[in-house]
Chains A and B, each alone.
Chain A
Amino acid sequence: MNTRRIGLTIGSAIAAWGLAASVALATEISFWTWRQEDKAAYTEIFSDFTKLNPDITVKFESFPDENYPTIVSTALAAGRGGDVIHTHAYGWLEQFAKAGYFVPLDRASVPSIDNMPADALVAGTYRADGRLYSLPFASQTLGLFINKDVFAKAGLTPPKTWDEFLAVGKALKDKGIIPLANGLGTSWFNEMFVAIFTNPFLGPDFVGDLTSGKTTFKDPRYVAALGKLLELRDDMPTGYEGVDYDTAGQLFLTGRAAMLAGGSFDISTYRSEDPGIDMAFVAPPAPKAGAPAYVTKFYDGGYAVNAASPNREAALKLVNYMGTKAFGDKLSALLGDISPIKGVEIKDPMLAEVAALNRTAMPHINVVYFRFQKPTGSELLQGDITRMMAGAITPDQLAADLTAGIAKWYAPFQGK
Chain B
Amino acid sequence: MPSRRRRSFLPRRRTLWIAFLLAPAALIMTAFVVWPLLSALRLSFYSFNGLRPAGFAGLENFRQVLIEHPFSDWTYNALFHNVVVFLALMVFENGTAFLLAFALLKALPGHRVHQVIVFLPVVLSAVVVGFLWKLLLHPLFGLVNQSLALVGIGAHAWLGDESTALGSIILANIWHWLGFPTLVLLAGMQRIDKEVLEAARLDGAGDFKLLTQIIWPLIAPSVTIIYILTFIGSFNWFELPYIMAGLTGSPGGSTDVLGLYFYRTAFGSTTTGIQDFGQGSALAVLMFILIAGVTWMALRILRRREADL
Enumerate chain A interface residues (CB-CB to B < 8 A): 34, 65-66, 68-70, 73, 76-77, 88, 91-92, 94-101, 183-188, 191, 237-243, 247, 251, 371-376, 378-380, 382-384, 386-387, 390, 392, 401, 404-405, 408
Contact = CB atoms under 8 A, between A and B. Distances in A.
Nearest to A34: B270
A404 B69 contact: yes
B255 to A, nearest CB: 11
Nearest to B139: A239
B268 interface: yes
Counting from the closest, the 3 A-B pairs by CB-CB distance are: A239-B139, A242-B160, A98-B50
A239 B268 contact: no
B70 to A, nearest CB: 5
A208 B145 CA distance: 47
Nearest to A384: B252
A300 B84 CA distance: 39
B49 A99 contact: yes
A242 B146 CA distance: 15
Interface residues of B, number: 43
A187 B248 CA distance: 7
A188 to B, nearest CB: 3
Contacts of A382: 248, 250, 271-272
B16 interface: no
A68 to B, nearest CB: 7
12 contacts: A70-B267, A77-B51, A88-B270, A183-B139, A185-B250, A187-B271, A191-B271, A241-B161, A247-B141, A374-B276, A376-B273, A386-B252
A187 B253 CA distance: 10
A68 B141 CA distance: 31
Contacts of A383: 248, 252-253
A243 B71 contact: no
B161 A242 contact: yes
B279 interface: yes
Contacts of A100: 52
B160 A387 contact: no
Contact of B274 (A68, A184, A372): A372
A250 to B, nearest CB: 9
B159 interface: yes
Given A70-B268, A240-B160, A242-B137, 10 more contacts: A70-B267, A94-B50, A97-B50, A99-B52, A187-B272, A188-B270, A374-B265, A379-B273, A383-B253, A390-B252
Interface stretch (B150-158, B172-180, B217-225): B150-158
B138 interface: yes
Given A191-B271, A241-B160, A99 B248 contact: no
B155 A239 contact: yes
Nearest to A390: B162
B162 A392 contact: yes
A322 B138 CA distance: 42
B273 A371 contact: yes
| Interface of A (DSSP majority class) | helix
A67 to B, nearest CB: 8
A383 B251 CA distance: 7
Given A242-B161, A386-B251, A390-B251, A98 B273 contact: no
A188 B271 contact: yes
Contacts of B270: 34, 65-66, 68-69, 88, 92, 188
A254 to B, nearest CB: 11
B246 interface: yes
Given A92-B270, A392-B252, A241 B157 contact: yes
Most buried by B among A68, A239, A378: A239
A405 B70 contact: yes
B251 A238 contact: no
B210 to A, nearest CB: 44
A37 B250 CA distance: 27
B248 A247 contact: no
B276 A239 contact: no
A183 B138 CA distance: 12
Contacts of A186: 246
Contacts of B162: 386-387, 390, 392
Contacts of B70: 375, 380, 401, 404-405
B269 interface: yes
B140 interface: yes
A376 B265 CA distance: 11
B268 A69 contact: yes
Contact of B157 (A96, A242, A379, A401): A242
Interface in B55-74: 68-71
B275 interface: yes
Given A94-B50, A97-B50, A386-B252, A242 B271 contact: no
A73 B51 contact: yes
